[in-house]
Amino acid sequence: MTDRYAVIGNPIAHSKSPAIHAAFALQTGQKLNYTRLEAPLDGFSDCAAEFLAMGGKGCNVTVPFKEEAYRFANRLSARAELAGAVNTLWLDDDGLVGDNTDGAGLCRDLLRHTELRGKRILLLGAGGAARGVIAPLLAEKPARLLLANRSADKATQLAERFSAANLQATGLDALAGQAFDLVINATSASLAGQQLPLPPSLWRLETVAYDMMYGKEETPFLAQAAAGGVAMRLDGLGMLVEQAAEAFYLWRGVRPETQPVLTELRAALGTH
């Protein structure tokens, strides 16, 4: 029987994960079937348990179920433990394993464009996406990683989970006059079409701006960076493909090439 995988979320209709995993499977000659599953908002565990009981080998988990998936797994990777969130599950002989590939995906995508070692990084947001990427970013040894969130206390609590001297936290309103080499937007403001209240002093020609959100249009955050004169502006499509590749590798033991899949996806979306 063909091995079955799925992505579980709500809403899930627009997820690109089935297309990405189908492209990886074709490229690597792996036989598998990957579908979307929309779980009711209070029904993630039942949906995942049913899929696995029916022979599913593993699944990806997306908004808003990553924290529930963290509680649902029998065993966790170190990076999922630190993140407090799981986006990849699979069954092995001892039960259900949970991992988080978001941070590895972000770092792999970023490293295609810029160095991280010794850099000053600003991470905007303290939700699920931000939690998943802190440990992998710290592992790249930046000079400084500042978490800034609208609710400053959430950023402070998050930073306390990691004992790192180069990690600090603040509110969005305390950024004036500070300089960074890389600014990452991990808030959902772009999703709502909103710009963040960021000081114009944040932007320089050589700053790298990265929005985890992706889509057809330039995101409000990247438009803000463009208005500030930033030359290198990157959306989160590369992160999406890279976190999927990491999950594919965990499941199948084969690492797919990501660049051709990313190029195909960009062409389909009409972005460049």
Binding site for ligand NDP (CB under 6 A): 63, 102, 125-130, 149-151, 154, 186-191, 194, 196, 212-214, 236, 239-240, 243
> Where do we find the tokens 């998050």?
158
66 annotated active-site: yes
> Where do we find the tokens 């808030």?
187
211 is in an annotated binding site: no
243 is in an annotated binding site: yes
What is the distance between the alpha carbons of residues 53 and 139, in angstroms, rounded to a whole number? 37
214 is in an annotated binding site: yes
Nearer to ligand NDP, 94 or 169 (CB): 169
Task: Give the tokens for residue 52.
Answer: 């696995």
Nearer to ligand NDP, 77 or 188 (CB): 188
Instruction: Quote the least distance from Cβ 126 to ligand NDP, whole Å.
Output: 4
Instruction: Quote the least distance from Cβ 209 to ligand NDP, whole Å.
Output: 14
Instruction: Quote the least distance from Cβ 129 to ligand NDP, whole Å.
Output: 3
Contact 245, 23 (CB under 8 A): no
What is the distance between the alpha carbons of residues 45 and 207, in angstroms, rounded to a whole number? 42
Nearer to ligand NDP, 41 or 53 (CB): 41
Residue tagged active-site, from 66, 119, 141, 154: 66
What is the distance between the alpha carbons of residues 226 and 234, in angstroms, rounded to a whole number? 11
Contact 130, 100 (CB under 8 A): no
Contact 196, 172 (CB under 8 A): yes
Which residues are annotated binding-site positions for NADP(+)? 125-129, 212, 236
Which residues are part of the catalytic machinery? 66
